[in-house]
Amino acid sequence: MSTAHRVVIALFPNVDLLDVTGPAEVFALANRIGGRALYDVRLAGPQGGPVTTAAGVRLLADLRFDEVGDQVDTLLVPGAVDVTPDGPRALTDPEVVAWVRRIAPATRRVASVCVGAHILAEAGLLDGLTATTHWSTAAQLAADHPNVTVDPDPIFVRSSGRVWTGAGISACLDLTLALVAEDHGEEAALAVARELVMYLKRQGGQSQFSVPLAHAALGRRDIDDLRLWIAEHLAEELTTTELAARMGLSQRQFTRVFRQQTGTTPAAYIESARVEIARRLLEATDLPLPQVAADSGLGSVETLHRAFRRRLGTGPGSYRRRFHTVA
């Protein structure tokens, strides 16, 4: 009989509760359904003992960081945020970062949950890789770590074979199911998903459940003003040339500044904003698809389909069937 995978989940003050307990529950269900110990899960903290999470619930660390050793199969790194007037900011505790940097090289697989990606990036584990995080801190991750390619939409991303990053909060379940599938096959992961009453693989990315227009720019009011202007003119033709002229910048400089501030290109941002409008129309109205395409600025039904497939991983018809709320 094979040895159980040794899983260590980092635990530190103000960590998001579900980031820790969600993956632990998935592994526990895999053990129960498998009828044996497939996973041995331990929580490790800077000092050991009780740790107060962001929810106010206390969890008990099984080990101190210095007691973990190097026999770790999977390291899971959750995150913590500070809510500021400008929106949430991911926190990176230097002690946690140093421990992750030290233990990761000897670990078979490293995965971040939600804003835990900021800790992996700070530890240098995401340099040159594509990563995701909670949509609300994606721009921060891109600005703080220009060597990381940040994709704010996927539920999770696997990079370089051994490094995984997961998106916002409940996506920790999707990420952990994927880890179970890698270890024990799709059927085992599907059985766990059934127990959780969720999809093994969700249709679409986290932009289905977030609002791209709510992302705050990092420090430039003129970019925020431009984004508001874009939101009011989505049905018009919006070119990089026109937007750069409104900002009084060259196209190259404008593209660089916009990406620096928002974590995405002007064209990608405009498409995501138009998809956001189309989503709302599909959810709340019975408008035919040609009208949805026109009103959102996407123009044609063909473009609507392409944008939905690219951004959400599903078609507008499927999206409407799942999320339509009109009586």
Summarize pLDDT for 281-325 with one digit per residue, the tens: 888 888 999 999 999 999 999 999 999 988 878 899 988 887 776
Across all residues in the chain, what is the average pLDDT?
A: 87
The predicted pLDDT at position 318 comes to 87
Q: Give SS3 for 37.
A: coil
120, two tokens: 């992996």
The predicted pLDDT at position 313 comes to 80
Round to whole Å and give the CA distance between 324 and 280: 9
Least confident of 9-18, 54-63, 218-227: 218-227
Q: Is the pLDDT of residue 119 over 70?
A: yes
The predicted pLDDT at position 200 comes to 53
Amino acid type, 38: L
Q: Is the pLDDT of residue 125 over 90?
A: yes
In percent, the amount of the chain with pLDDT more than 70 equals 91
Beta strands in the chain (DSSP E): 5-10, 39-45, 49-52, 58-61, 63-64, 74-77, 81-84, 87-90, 109-112, 130-131, 149-150, 156-159, 163-166
